[in-house]
Amino acid sequence: MKKLIAVILSVLLMFSVAGCAVKPEQPPTPETPDVEETQKTPETPPKEQFVFTRENFPRLNGSTAMVPLGQAIASVLLGETRDEVADLTNFSRTTQSYRELMNGYADLLISGAPPEGIYEEKEELGFEWEISTFAVDGLVLIVNEDNPINSLTTEQIQDIYSGKITNWSEVGGDDVEIVPFQRNEEAGSQTAMKKLVMGDIPLMEAPTEYVSGAMGELVEVVASYNDSAAAIGYTVYYYAHDMKMADGLKIIAVDGVQPNADTIRSRDDPFINDSDVVIAANLPENAPAKILYDWIMSEEGQRLVAHEGYVSVMDIGGEQ
């Protein structure tokens, strides 16, 4: 009898334990994906990023005003200081830089527009280039900060530089002779002056001592000429404003428009001078010069352009 009771208790205990056991959770029923989701194209794996080195870095050239940007580009992409990359940015000024590119001594230019003669040389060489505007600049007129004149019209500037107006009193200033400084024929700002301001009106022949070979020289001499406020000159907005070369000077308004980043980008400024990036045409996509060209025109490149104080074509901030 005792054995029978023990067997019955054992069976009951088994059923009790089985009833208290935790059942495993059932896997959730998978949700049916939306049709739109299933039709998405899988993302393409990102391309391997190109790494610039001193060995493959394009030979840069361009306008004087672009030297700081060239140094910034080389510094960022090579991971070196600006002093360390200074040997990579020995720019030969606007006109000559185009010749360097066309004759194979440069790979990429950051420059203003060349004079007409360069287009003729380009045709003679049968050279083709790829060109894009990466920043907008303006040709600005500068006078000594003590000059009471704050604004001129385009016609007045034309008359000054053609020799019709010779005294500041003729445009509302003091009775002082106007000393109009010019740049040399190879300079980008001289090309811009002829193209944007003078048009078909010939520039007066300036005395040799009034022709400045370097942009810095012109800015300095306008500020300090004869310890007076007699001089007037021209340069690009970036050089006068962002390179802080205009100490002792002021940028005057033209036709009532004061040059600044906003009026230049909106092209309200009357003397807009585009800054271009230029390479030889038909380079392969993996050529370092083509990669750098595309990078300068990208958002990342444009951010650097703006950070350096140039008026980038992409309105992403950074200019003053």
pLDDT surpasses 60 at 250: yes
Distance CA 134, CA 95 (A): 18
Question: Cα–Cα distance between 237 and 140 in angstroms, integer?
Answer: 6
pLDDT given for residue 183 in this prediction: 87
Better-predicted residue by pLDDT, 115 or 290: 290
Is 248 in contact with 224 (CB distance < 8 Å)? yes
Q: Does domain 137-265 have CATH number 3.30.70.890?
A: no
Q: Tokens 């190879």 map to which residue?
A: 186
Report which of 63, 61, 60 is spatially closest to residue 215, judged by C-alpha positions. Answer: 63
- The reported pLDDT for the residue numbered 28 is 41
pLDDT surpasses 50 at 73: yes
For residues 157 and 170, the answer to whether their CB atoms sit within 8 Å is no
Distance CA 111, CA 67 (A): 10
Q: Which two tokens stand for residue 275?
A: 């800054």
- Domain boundaries for CATH 3.40.190.10 within the chain: 60-136+274-312, 137-265
Q: Where are the alpha helices (DSSP H) in the chain?
A: 2-20, 35-38, 67-78, 94-102, 116-125, 154-162, 188-192, 215-224, 237-241, 261-265, 288-297, 299-307
Phi, psi for 142 (deg, rounded to 5): -125, 145
Check residue 303 and give its pLDDT: 95
* pLDDT over 50 (residue 82): yes
* CA distance readout (Å), 274 to 7, 71, 199: 102, 20, 17
Residue 96, pLDDT > 90, answer yes
Model pTM score: 0.70
Tell the CATH topology of 60-136+274-312.
D-Maltodextrin-Binding Protein; domain 2 (3.40.190)
